[in-house]
Structure formats: C-alpha cells, structure tokens
Chain A
Amino acid sequence: MKTVAGKSVPETRAGDSLWRVVNKGSSFNRLALSVLAVLAAFAFTAVPISLSGKNPAVAYWALLRGAFGSVDAITFALNKSTPYILAGVGVAMCFRARIINIGGEGQIAVGGIVSSWIILTFPDLMSSVLIPLALVGAALAGAVWAGLPAMMRLRRGVHEVLSTLMLNFVGTLLVGEVLNGTMGEPGAGFPQSPLFPESGRLPILLPQTDLHSGILLALIAVVSCHFVLWYTPFGFRLRVLGSSSSAAIYAGISLSSTFLSVMLLSGALAGVAGGIEVMGIHYRLIEGFSSGFGFNAVAVALLGALNPLAILPSGLFFGFLEAGSLAMQREVGVPSSLVYVIEGVTMICVLCAMGFIGPRSRS
C-alpha cells in the first residue's frame, strides 16, 4: 500500500475509532456491554445443552417461564436474590477498598446459626422484638467472623484471602456441628433444628405468596451503602484506599481502622443475609442452607462493578437465573448444574467487557 504524507491508512483509523467508542464507558455503554455479555453467555451454554441432547430453545423457554412465568415464580426468585444482594453489597464495599474478603460463605453460616439460636432460645418474645434481636445477632456474628481475619491481618500480617477462605470451612461445618449437638431437632434423622415459632419468622410481604420482607432489608442495605460510599468521609476513605494505598497514607487515612471497619460492615451484611435465609425461607436451621451463597456474592459484586446500586440488578439476575434453572431442570430435564455454567460464563464475559471499559470510575 502506498503511504503518502498526510494520508491515513484506513485500517488503523477504524481500529482507533472502535476503541474510542468502547472506551467512553458511559453508563449506557456499561449496561449494553453487560447485556451483551449475558447474551453471549446464553449462546455459549447452548452448546452443552445441545450436547446433553436437549433443545436449547426449549430449555431457555422453560428457564424464562420458571423465572418470570407466574407471581409465585417471581416471588421465589426475589427471595433467592435477597441474600445475594445483601452479601454482595458487603463484598463490593470491601473490594472497593481492595480488601479481598471472600469469607461470605462462613459469615452467612454463622449469621444463620446465631439468629436460629436466639429464636430457639427466646421463643416467647413478641415478634417485633425477637426478629430485630435475631437480625442484630446475625449481624454481630457475621461481623465477628469477618473481624477475626481483619485482626489477623492487622496484627500478624496474615493475608485476608487465606484467613477468610479458611474460616468459610469452619463456619459451614459449625452449622452441622451445632445441629448434631444442642440445636438439632430430636429424632429428625436429618441435621436440622426444630421449626421456628411464628414469632421468629419474617413477615410475608405479599399475601398468598412466599415473598418475605428480607428483600426490603436488601434494598435498604443497597441504598445505604450507596450513600456511604459516595457521600461520606468513610466511603471516600474506602475509595482512596482502593485506588492507591500510598495516596491513602498521604491523605492521612488510617489504613488499619478503615480495613477493620469495612470488614466488620461486610461481615455484618453477610450475617444478616444468613439470618434472613433461615428466618424467611426455611424457618429452621438446616445443614448446607447457604451453600455457595458467599461465593455467588463475590460474583454478584463483580457483575455489579462494585457499585452498590448496580448490585441490585446484578443480585436479581443471579436470583432469577437460579429460580429459572430449577424450572428448566424440572420441565426439560436439563441438569440445573448448567446454571452454574451460565453464571460462570456470564462472569467471564462481563469481566472481559469491563476490561474494554478500562479503569473504574464513577460515570
């Protein structure tokens, strides 16, 4: 090709302009990219569905109906989303400060244990006292479970990834331990606690459905975290710390107290998620009641670009996807484990899409 001074080579120009479009990173582009990523994930997952001998179109139709097909389906999905949103927004706050708290699994579990214990120990209290008490207990338990690794990091330099991950096993196994011991239902044959009294169950929002009031707490958590992150000195500290720890030191931000506070906050939110799950869905503590919640919360946080308000749609997406997948399994016989494939592939696609957008900033 002849290159003359002043004339441009068309190929490189086209490449540049595409980059500029992607690089703008307006909220519309972010949304469009997320939607594209989700669609791409569904397209990929069609392959294993076909391989299992089922028609992907039929399977996805079942999934869609299972998620949105009826009031029951929707309320079921909303209930499923609740713990994801709560724990996810806590994870997002930690990740904003570049603190890798992946201990949601354990924090949720101990939240469930402590709220169950409170309800089973004080069954005669009025529900207006018992429920807040149980939730506060759950929050404290989760905060303690996150505070432990935070203290280990600050005092002994143990990296929080390791300690939070390990405490997950301790937390989830503790559920089985208490259920096989003092909190188990006598003669049940399954590791579960006795049924909670009426006073220890979360009120139903919509009569004739299962929709409990946990989703309201999740909403409050999302909105509060949004304001904390963007409009308070504490949130400002988190953001500076997350962007550059040397800048944080320069700004006079105490790394240790910020670290500890955000871990406690995140743990408390996860603990509440655990409490809500036992008080709103099962009405008892069951072994494995929260299996995978903590890790999904990390995925939810990342899918929401660590932006509290965006955690809401992101958490709902995971909840509705899981609800739909159960229907897909029931009606078409596609293994529901494929949902984890969709979730996984979506995550990868979204993270790739974010790579296009470049560094996070508030648009």
Chain B
Amino acid sequence: MAGAIPFTCFMQPIPPMLEMRGICKTFGTVRANRNIDLTVERGRIVGLLGENGSGKSTLMKVLFGMVRPDAGTVSFNGHALQSHSPGDAIRAGICMIHQHFMLVEAMTVLENVMLGWSRAGTILKSIEIAKLIRTASKEYGLELSPKTRVSELGFGKRQRIEIVKAILRGAQLLILDEPTSNLSPVEVSSLFQVMRAFAAQGRSVVFISHKMGEVLDLCDEVVVLRAGEVTHRGPVQNATRADLARLMVGREISLSHVSETKVRGSELMTIEGLTLIESRPPIDGLSLSLRSGEIFALAGVDGNGQLELIETIAGLRRASKGKIILNGREITPLRPEARVAAGVAYIPVDRANTSLVPDMTVQDNLAFRDFNRPPLRKGIWLDKNAFLTRARTRIQQYQIACPGPQVAAQTLSGGNQQKIVLAREVGRKPTILLAFQPTWGLDPGATRFVLDEILALRDAGAAILYVSSELEEVVMLGDRLGVMFNGRLIGVSNRNELSMAEIGLLMSGDERTLS
C-alpha cells in the first residue's frame, strides 16, 4: 500500500493527517466524485466549499466508510482505511458533527456525553466524566456545565456538546457540516475560536460550507468542489470571495447587488398590538406595518419569536390579542385557506415536511395550498386537468428541473424543491409574501433565483416580510429592517441606517447601539 502515496512520502517524513487520493464514485449516471484528492495536514483548518450536489457529502461518506468508492485510497495518520465501517473511522479518530445533532433533549450534558461511550464505564463514572467536561470546557472556552439539561440549551450550546463529545473521545480530525447555519454572528465567532484552539493542538478540522465569507475568515486552506471535481485548492490568503463564488458555481454570480426599491407605496398590512401568550418567548404587543413595494427584513437568531410571528400572520397560529389588517380589512379571524385567498403567501423554512409534501407529486405540491377553490376545485371534484395545466405552466415559468409533473417531489434537488414552493406561493401573485429563510441550504445559483423572484414580486408592488438569521442577507435585501430578540421587535430602521456590526449586536440582545 505504501506505493499508493508516491508524492508526499519523500516530501515529508510525517504523513499528513488525512490523505484521500483519486476518489471516484458514480451513482447511476451521476458522477458524484471524479478523481478527488483531499489532503489535510496536522493543525490545519481546511474549508470544503461547494454547492448542493457538488459531491461534498459523498466525499465525506467515503471517508466515513458509509459509501464504497469505485476507486481511490484513504489514509489517515499514515494508515490505510480500506473497506472500513463508520465505527472504524471513529475509532481511528475522525469525528463528524452533522447539521442535525444526535442529542437526547431530556438528558443532561453529562449524560449525553456518556451515552454510548465505553469509557464512561459499565457503572457510570459520572464524577470523573463531569470533571473531564469541565476541564475541556475551560480549555476551549465552551462554557458548558455538565448538569444542564439539553432541552434548556440553545442551538449554539448544543453544538458545543457535540464538540466536547468529539474532543473527549480523542478526535484527531473534526468534520463540521454547515455548522453555522443556525448561529448568531456572536456564536459564529466563538465557534471559530473553539476551532482555532482545536487546531492549535495539532489536530485538524474540515469545515464544510457554502458560505464564502466564513471560509475565508476561519480556514487556512480551501478546497472548492464543483460537479464532483476539485476546481480549486490553495491557501485562503490568495483567494477572494468573487473567485471562490465563480469557482463554485462555474459562472459569474453577483450575490451582493440588490437594487433598492423604486416604488414605495401605501401601507398594505398593519399589525397592531399582536400578542401571543403561549409562544416561547411570548410576544407582547408587537406592531409592524408593511408597505407596498418594499422588503421588510427581519433579522434575529432562530427561536426569538420570528417563526411565531410569521405563522400568526399566515394564520397557522391564533393570536391571543391584537389585529392584523390587510388592505383595510381585518383578517385576524380568517383561517389559513381564507388568508391565502386574501393574498397572503407564505414560504416556510422547513422544506422537508412543511412547505413540501415530499412523497406527493410535483403537481400536487404545486396545488396543495389552493386545492379547495377554483380553478383547482370544480364542484365536489378536484379538476385534475387544472392541476396538470397549472403544473406545466409553473414548471416552465420557474424552470423547475423535473422529469414531469407526476414525479414525487422528493426526487428533486433542494434548489428545485424550493422552486416548487416559490412557484406556488409567488406564482399566485400575492399582496403579501412572508418568507422564512427562503434561501436556507440553497447553493448560490438557486439562492440568486429565489432572490430575483422575490425582488420581482416586490417591484410589482407586493410587500415582503423576509425573515433571516443571516446578517448579510438582511442588510442586502431589507428596504427596511428590524431585529427580533426575545419576542420583541427592536431596531426598526431604513436601509443603511444601521451597520452590520450594530445589527449583529442587536441580534444578541444588546440594545446599547440604539441609544
């Protein structure tokens, strides 16, 4: 096997921590990985950039032994990993932290760390392990207390439990899959500190992302994947955002330029004293108005009441108090169906189960918020021809890449799934569009498409409430913006009135900037 690593063995006496060479994997007609090399040196943070479907996950699955490569070798710390199982990879010291955590909410931090770990003993050595957690927590600045219940912790802290698990179990190589998706800017920067401390000890990190800014910020090297091939590798010092974006997508995409609104008309929707007692955090007397031809961007870390607010406007939740007025007509008592008919469109963040029904057809998915009124309903029957006609039009109009209206939505890529949602909600020409992180998990190409459609809707005179936890998006899109913190709407301002740093502080609840 020594002959399989001809290039590095004479350059360095110590082999790199991870060396993947010539990885090829084909699924049917899709060449997910074509001859990919990935080298991770000790103490380095390597960014793996790529769109959805560029082969990042396949490569990681190969590394973990979840997928057998058609060709290629993997060696870790100088030992070949061949036909290995995920268990072998973990024992060798590779640890992956997924977007969705594997934690038991009802248990404490300590119990979660001990869960499934043989070193915790047959009779659990709680005191000893708790001490280990405290030590590691201090060393890396994780601020975790072993006795806290997971259910009481926010997303950022939960992620740290996964990191402490990896550290205690002796991980040499930590792989983070899109770790910043749900973090506030403050949490992101402290995660980066943890990563740097980890790397400073001679261990390594692979940071999977499609956010160029974060990769440039954190990583030592960057590897860009496109359509299963490496299009770029090198130190981050020489790279710019624009370069990376082009390398990732294969064409010029400007993500930063968004024109300001040209039409800013009358108030379309007013929300007065909206109160939700049962939501966590409770919303107490929130007021907001949305004007024709503008995007109101609502920033905030997830879980500060944005979801509750937007669901109440969409009619999925009942307000305890307050009024929602659309075009002079109170819609507070209306059911969701009636609100759709009144012109309220809503793009929820959860594509997996809410905005799409994965095992129903594209055609049904394009119809499922309007099926109960003409033209889709005719008397007591559903008009299947109307379903089909609408589906064909929308597929063409929104360039949804699918074999036909009758295939299940789950067979489509994430970007095309979001196009279905967009086609359904925007295609109805709504007066108000509520969009909850509509670009979440999308690659730059699909992101641009979604944003363009939303901007077109704005310029046609609709009002848009755009919720996002990504600072850049909020600043770029919002003709006006505000921040949700702990159920309150703060920092409402016009475009360019607040700096990114100020909004970041507001998102973490620091209102000093406002005074």
Interface residues in chain A, defined as those with a beta carbon under 8 Å from any beta carbon in chain B: 3-9, 12-13, 16, 20, 231-233, 235-236, 239-240, 243-244, 246-247, 249-252, 254, 359-362
B contact residues around A232 at 8 Å (CB): 380-382
Contacting pair B70 A7 (CB below 8 A):
yes
Known: A6-B24, A231-B382, A252-B369. A247 touches B70 (CB 8 A): no
Please tell me if the beta carbons of B354 and A12 are within 8 angstroms of each other in the complex.
no
Contact call A362/B361, Cβ cutoff below 8 A: yes
Chain B residues whose CB sits within 8 angstroms of the CB of A362 once the complex forms: 361
Q: Is there contact, CB below 8 Å, between A244 and B354?
A: yes
- Residue pair B315, A252 in contact (C-beta under 8 Å): yes
A246 touches B354 (CB 8 A): yes
B71 contacts partner chain A, Cβ-Cβ < 8 Å? yes
Instruction: Give B contacts to A, CB under 8 Å.
Output: 22, 24, 26-28, 35, 68-73, 314-316, 335-340, 346, 348, 350, 353-361, 364, 368-369, 371-372, 377, 380-382, 384, 408, 410
- Interchain CA distance A250-B72 in the complex, whole Å: 46
Chain B contacts for A4, CB-based, 8 A: 71
By beta carbon, the residue of chain A nearest B26 is: A8
Complex contact B368–A8 (CB within 8 A): no
Contact check, B408 vs A361: say whether CB atoms are below 8 A apart.
yes
Contact indicator A5/B368 (Cβ below 8 Å): no
Closest 10 CB pairs of A and B: A252-B336, A252-B337, A8-B70, A5-B22, A243-B357, A359-B359, A246-B354, A244-B353, A3-B71, A247-B357
**Sample of 7 further A-B pairs with CB below 8 A, known A236-B371, A243-B357, A247-B355:** A12-B70, A16-B28, A235-B382, A244-B358, A246-B350, A247-B356, A252-B340
Cα distance A9–B70 when bound, in Å? 5
List A contacts of B339 (CB < 8 A).
252
In chain A, what residue has the closest Cβ to B359?
A: A359
Contact call A247/B368, Cβ cutoff below 8 A: yes
Residues of A within 8 A of B73 (CB): 3
User: Judging by beta carbons under 8 Å apart, are B336 and A5 in contact?
Assistant: no
B336 contacts A250, CB within 8 Å? yes
Closest to B69 in A: A3
Q: Is the CB of A5 within 8 A of B356?
A: no
B355 to chain A, nearest CB (A): 7
Q: How far is the CB of A141 from chain B (nearest CB, A)?
A: 26
Point out the residues of chain B lying under 8 angstroms from A252, CB to CB: 315, 335-340, 369, 372
29 A-B residue contacts at CB 8 Å?
A5-B72, A6-B71, A7-B70, A8-B26, A8-B70, A12-B70, A232-B381, A232-B382, A243-B358, A243-B359, A244-B358, A246-B350, A246-B353, A247-B353, A247-B357, A247-B368, A249-B316, A250-B316, A250-B354, A250-B355, A251-B368, A251-B371, A252-B335, A252-B336, A252-B372, A359-B358, A359-B359, A359-B408, A362-B361
Complex contact A12–B68 (CB within 8 A) = yes
Query: Which of B35, B336, B359, B368 is in CB contact (< 8 Å) with A236?
Result: B368
Select one of B28, B70, B346 contacting A250, CB under 8 A.
B346
In the complex, the chain A residue whose C-beta lies closest to that of B24 is A5
Which A residues are CB-close (under 8 A) to B27? Answer: 16
Q: Assuming the A-B contacts A240-B360, A247-B368, are A5 and B71 also in contact, with contact meaning beta carbons closer than 8 angstroms in the complex?
A: yes
B-chain residues with CB within 8 Å of residue A254 when the two chains form the complex: 335
User: How far is the CB of A344 from the nearest CB of chain B, in Å?
Assistant: 28
Shortest distance from the beta carbon of B27 to any chain A beta carbon, whole Å:
7
Q: Which residues of A contact B358 (CB under 8 A)?
A: 243-244, 359
B103 vs chain A, min Cβ distance (A): 22
- Bound state CA distance, A236 and B339, in angstroms? 20
Q: Does A231 lie within 8 Å of B368, measured CB to CB?
A: no
Chain A residues whose CB sits within 8 angstroms of the CB of B22 once the complex forms: 5
- A247 and B354 contact, CB distance less than 8 A: yes
Which chain B residue lies CB-closest to A363? B406
Docked pose: A246 CA to B359 CA in angstroms: 14
Say how far A250's CB is from chain B's closest CB, in angstroms. Answer: 5
Complex Cα spacing A235 to B377, Å: 12
Contact status A233-B382, CB under 8 Å: yes
Residues on B with C-beta less than 8 A from A7 are: 70-71
Known A243-B357, A246-B354, A359-B410; judge A3-B72 contact (CB<8 A).
yes
B313 to chain A, nearest CB (A): 13
B360 and A251 contact, CB distance less than 8 A? no
**Which B residues are in CB contact (< 8 Å) with A5?**
22, 24, 35, 71-72
Q: Chain B residues near A243 (CB, 8 Å)? A: 357-360
Give the residues in chain A near B355, CB-CB below 8 Å.
247, 250
The smallest beta-carbon distance between A328 and chain B, in angstroms, is 40
| Residues on B with beta carbons closer than 8 Å to the beta carbon of A16 | 27-28
Which residue from A8, A233, A246, A360 sits with its C-beta under 8 Å from B371?
Answer: A233
CA distance A235 to B361 in the complex (A): 15
Residues of B within 8 A of A359 (CB): 358-359, 408, 410
B364 and A236 form a contact (CB under 8 A)? yes
Q: A360–B408 Cα gap in the complex (Å)?
A: 10
Q: Please give, as numbers and ranges, the residues of chain B lying within 8 Å of A251 by CB-CB distance.
A: 336-337, 368-369, 371
Contact A233 B372 (CB under 8 A): yes
For A244, list chain B residues within 8 Å (CB): 353-354, 357-358
Complex Cα spacing A12 to B70, Å: 8
Q: Evaluate contact between A9 and B68: CB separation under 8 angstroms.
A: yes
Which B residue sits closest to A360, measured CB to CB? B359
A361 to B358, CA, bound (A): 10
Known contacts being A232-B382, A244-B354, A250-B336, is A361 close to B361, with CB within 8 Å? Answer: yes
Pick from B26, B315, B348, B382 the residue with the most CB of A within 10 Å.
B382
Of all chain A residues, the one with the shortest Cβ separation from B317 is A249
C-alpha spacing A318/B361, complex, angstroms:
32
Residue ID in chain B nearest A3 by CB atoms:
B71
Q: Which residue of A lies closest to B376 (CB)?
A: A233
Bound Cα distance A143, B360 (Å) = 29
| Residue of A13, A233, A239, A249 touching B377 (CB-CB under 8 A) | A233
User: Cβ of B71: which chain A residues have Cβ within 8 Å of it?
Assistant: 3-9
